[in-house]
């Protein structure tokens, strides 16, 4: 058998047969779900109601400012800027008499800082209170009429967005695309670190135990490094495919638990929807929910997402794994040494993650576009954009350019790392720095 094949086989089998592989395959999704849901739970739970005392010299704000879960207003007569905290309020809003035609400053004094969102929410409420007051006092519209008009207007229209893909018009769901994009980016981020670190540890093991010395006499360093990278990459791919199978299975089992009559209603909805848009079919709330979820899932181009995910996972992994291998090859027994050398490699990955969380919300922004083309960050950032659709969210030229640059990028890093690796793997005792590694990489032979 070919020697690099032997190395790939060993790297793959020893890892896949390991119990920790199976354990991590099943535990990682569970952990990610727990992490995301607990973060969501804390975000909801952590939202506090701000109690704001209002000192109003105009006298009409108490009719317009309504307390809710975000802000509770306190209009008690005796309250002022001195005693508001004694009356259980965290801030006091002082509104002097407002005059038409001139700008009056109103102030918020606080003991507890309000968030940026809360401040703009407060400002919006004040200005709409003033507008409402004007409409009420300067026109003949009654308050109840105004409120009912408002409510009616809110119910009249709903925004749906459609990516322009020529003939093929499908309803898109921004929220769903955001979720899928964020999850894909997050997964690639985690996998790059997990498998990159696995490559580094593997290389360090071979170096410190002198295995490299024994093997290098029968296999050259470059195939040794590539065998390891490819073998571990195959483990990652296996893990991803297992996840896909797992998700399909869970979804199938989940559907089996939906009652038959609800399923029937869902099918009715589906048929009605395909015949005439927006026709009203009587259906229970549960059926409508399931229908909507089905529509969201059906609206996404899964083949494209999974294909791109595999491409960007492998591309990003290959791009960074060889760099991890190079670091592993230069450090000695002390794992501390790896820390400082890892920083320049983990920085771009962490930055990509930050850009990715922006790109998942704003897939068309110039930062998102450029970061999804440059191979340092493209594996993570591009995956956040792709669920928005191709070519609707990502034009073809951007996708192809990004893929081509990533392929070129990992060929370059592999070449560079290979040169550092082949010297580093047999060097002992000397702590290398970036300068010496640079000279290994670019010295002439």
Partner 1 sequence: MSMLEVSHLKKYFATQKAVDDISFKVEKGSIFGLLGPNGAGKTTLIRMITGIFYPDEGGILFNGKKFSPTADASRIGYMPEERGLYKKMKIGEQAIYFAQLKGLSRADAVARIKDWFIRFDMKGWWNKKIEDLSKGMAQKLQFVITVLHEPELIILDEPFSGLDPVNANLIKEEIFRLATSGAAVIFSTHRMEQVEEICNQIVLIDRGQKILDGSVAQVKQDFKENLFRIHVDSLPQETSLAPFDLLAEKEHTITLRIKAGRTPNDVLKYFIDRECQITHFTEMLPSLNEIFIRLVEGTPLARQFQTIQS
Q: Which residues are near partner 1 by CB under 8 A?
A: 1, 3, 6-7, 10, 14, 18, 205, 209-220, 426
Q: In what order do the strands lie in the sheet with 107-110?
A: 71-74, 50-56, 91-95, 107-110
Task: Supply the minimum distance, in Å, between the C-beta of residue 34 and partner 1.
Answer: 29
Nearer to partner 1, 35 or 211 (CB): 211
Q: Collect all residues with Cβ–Cβ distance below 8 Å to 113 and sequence separation of at least 6.
A: none
Residue from 308, 334, 329, 340 nearest 421 by CA: 329
Task: Supply the minimum distance, in Å, between the C-beta of residue 6 and partner 1.
Answer: 5
Instruction: In whole angstroms, give the CA distance from residue 53 to residue 91.
Output: 6
Instruction: In whole angstroms, give the CA distance from residue 195 to residue 201.
Output: 10
Nearer to partner 1, 17 or 45 (CB): 17
Nearer to partner 1, 204 or 308 (CB): 204
Task: Supply the minimum distance, in Å, between the C-beta of residue 436 and partner 1.
Answer: 9
Q: Collect all residues with Cβ–Cβ distance below 8 Å to 426 and sequence separation of at least 6.
A: 212, 213, 216
Task: Supply the minimum distance, in Å, between the C-beta of residue 41 and partner 1.
Answer: 38
Helix (H, G, I), strand (E, B) or coil at 375: coil
Burial 218-245 (b: 16+ CB within 10 A, else e): ebebbbbbbbbbbbbbbbbbebbeeeee
Task: Supply the minimum distance, in Å, between the C-beta of residue 230 and partner 1.
Answer: 16
Nearer to partner 1, 215 or 318 (CB): 215
Nearer to partner 1, 10 or 66 (CB): 10
Task: Supply the minimum distance, in Å, between the C-beta of residue 317 and partner 1.
Answer: 22
Site of tokens 């594996």: 379
Nearer to partner 1, 211 or 249 (CB): 211
343: how many CB neighbours lie within 10 A of its CB? Answer: 11
């Amino acid at each position: 058998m070919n020697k690099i094949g032997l190395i790939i086989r060993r790297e793959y089998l020893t890892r896949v047969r390991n119990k920790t592989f199976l354990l991590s395959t099943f535990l990682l999704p569970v952990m990610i779900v727990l992490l995301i849901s607990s973060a969501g739970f804390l975000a909801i739970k952590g939202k506090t109601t701000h109690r704001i005392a209002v000192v109003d010299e105009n006298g009409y704000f108490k009719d317009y400012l309504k307390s809710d879960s975000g802000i509770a207003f306190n209009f008690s007569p005796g309250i002022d800027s001195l005693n508001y905290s004694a009356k259980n309020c965290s801030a006091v809003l002082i509104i002097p008499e407002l005059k038409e035609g001139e700008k009056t400053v109103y102030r918020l004094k606080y003991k507890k800082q309000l968030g940026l969102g809360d401040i703009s929410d407060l400002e919006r409420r004040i200005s709409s209170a003033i507008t409402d007051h004007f409409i009420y006092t300067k026109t003949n519209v009654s308050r109840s009429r105004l409120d009912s008009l408002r409510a009616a207007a809110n119910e009249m229209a709903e925004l749906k967005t459609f990516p322009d893909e020529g003939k093929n018009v499908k309803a898109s769901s921004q929220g769903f695309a955001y979720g899928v994009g964020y999850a894909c980016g997050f997964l690639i981020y985690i996998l790059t670190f997990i498998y990159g670190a696995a490559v580094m540890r593997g290389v360090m093991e071979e170096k410190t135990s002198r295995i490299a010395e024994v093997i290098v006499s029968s296999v050259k360093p470059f195939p040794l490094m590539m065998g390891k990278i490819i073998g571990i990459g195959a483990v990652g791919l296996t893990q991803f495919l297992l996840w896909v199978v797992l998700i399909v299975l869970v979804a199938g089992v989940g559907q089996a638990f939906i009652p038959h009559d609800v399923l029937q209603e869902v099918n009715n909805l589906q048929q009605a929807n395909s015949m005439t848009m927006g026709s009203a079919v009587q259906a229970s709330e549960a059926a409508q929910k399931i229908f909507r979820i089905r529509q969201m899932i059906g609206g996404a181009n899964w083949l494209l997402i999974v294909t791109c995910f595999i491409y960007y996972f492998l591309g990003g992994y290959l791009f960074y794994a060889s760099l991890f291998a190079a670091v592993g090859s230069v450090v000695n027994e002390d794992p501390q040494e790896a820390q400082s050398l890892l920083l320049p490699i983990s920085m771009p990955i962490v930055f990509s993650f930050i850009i990715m969380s922006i790109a998942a919300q704003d897939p068309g922004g110039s930062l998102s576009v450029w970061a999804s083309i440059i191979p340092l960050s493209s594996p993570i950032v591009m995956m956040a954009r792709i669920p928005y659709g191709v070519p609707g969210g990502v034009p073809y030229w951007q996708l192809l350019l990004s893929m081509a640059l990533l392929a070129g990028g990992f060929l370059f890093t592999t070449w560079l790392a290979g040169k550092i690796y082949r010297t580093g793997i047999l060097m002992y005792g000397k702590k290398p720095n970036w300068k010496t590694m640079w000279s290994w990489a670019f010295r002439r032979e």
